[in-house]
């Protein structure tokens, strides 16, 4: 004997690499669920909470950040992370201005610090914290110097 419930609730997460595609996917979800419900003699309500937007690493800024990080930390300490569908509040900035989201590696295989983020065994190599503030300041100074006028040039122009 089958029991058919009066109500069904489904939840999920949708992460994408493109805002336009995400909007289209939401519309597809709405149309598909409405069609399935109608074909079954039922009704449905679809509530989509649009979380964080897609994170855009702008190529020019990312190149500048990578160059600055390589200068500060050394080429061997800098690598590109694989693309993934993170849910990140920083993404909101990247929708407004050219931006680069970078990761600070805090693991250390030699010390046995290898657990992933959001796991019960997550730990960090605290030595990484020594480099983080200096790296951020260095990147900021390099980006600012690439877009500003030197004091000597400003005096000559006045």
Mark whether 126 is an active-site residue.
Answer: yes
Q: Which of 27, 38, 80, 126 is catalytic?
A: 126
Q: Mean per-residue pLDDT for 100-124?
A: 92
- Of 52, 93, 102, 142, catalytic: 52
Distance CA 77, CA 52 (A): 30
pLDDT score of 96 more than 90: yes
> What pLDDT does 87 receive?
82
d(CA 99, CA 51): 19
In the numeric block, the tokens 């931006």 are attached to 99
Residue 148 predicted with pLDDT over 80: no
Q: How far apart are CA 85 and CA 51, in angstroms?
A: 12
When pLDDT is cut at 50, 70 and 90, the band that residue 84 belongs to is confident
Q: Does the pLDDT value for residue 40 go beyond 60?
A: yes
Average predicted confidence (pLDDT) for the chain: 89
Question: What Rg value do the Cα atoms of the chain yield, rounded?
Answer: 24
Neighbours of 138 (CB within 10 A): 16
Question: What is the pLDDT, as a whole number, of residue 47?
Answer: 94
Q: Would you list the domain boundaries of the chain?
A: 12-51, 59-154
Residue 158 predicted with pLDDT over 90: no
Burial class (CB in 10 A: 0-12, 13-18, 19+), 89: exposed
Short-list 17, 12, 14, 13, CA closest to 94: 17
Stated pTM of the model: 0.74
pLDDT band with cut points at 50, 70 and 90 for residue 62: very high
Ranges 25-39, 56-70, 78-92, 129-143: which has the least confidence: 78-92
52 is an active site residue: yes
Please give the pLDDT value at position 100.
Answer: 94
Predicted local distance difference test score (pLDDT) of residue 83: 86
Q: How far apart are CA 25 and CA 17, in angstroms?
A: 12
């Amino acid at each position: 004997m089958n029991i058919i419930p009066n109500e069904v609730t489904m939840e999920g997460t949708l992460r994408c690499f493109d805002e336009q595609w995400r909007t289209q996917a939401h519309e597809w979800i709405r149309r598909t669920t409405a069609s399935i419900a109608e074909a079954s003699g039922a009704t449905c309500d679809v509530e989509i909470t649009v979380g964080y937007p897609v994170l855009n690493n702008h190529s020019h800024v990312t190149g500048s950040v990578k160059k600055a990080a390589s200068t500060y930390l050394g080429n061997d300490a800098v690598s590109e992370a694989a693309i993934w569908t993170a849910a990140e509040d920083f993404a909101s900035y990247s929708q407004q201005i050219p931006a680069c989201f970078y990761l600070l590696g805090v693991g250390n295989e030699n010390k046995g610090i290898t657990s992933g983020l959001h796991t019960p065994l997550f730990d960090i190599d605290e030595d990484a914290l020594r480099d983080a503030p200096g790296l951020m300041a260095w990147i900021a100074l390099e980006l600012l110097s690439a877009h500003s006028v030197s004091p000597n040039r400003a005096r000559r122009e006045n």
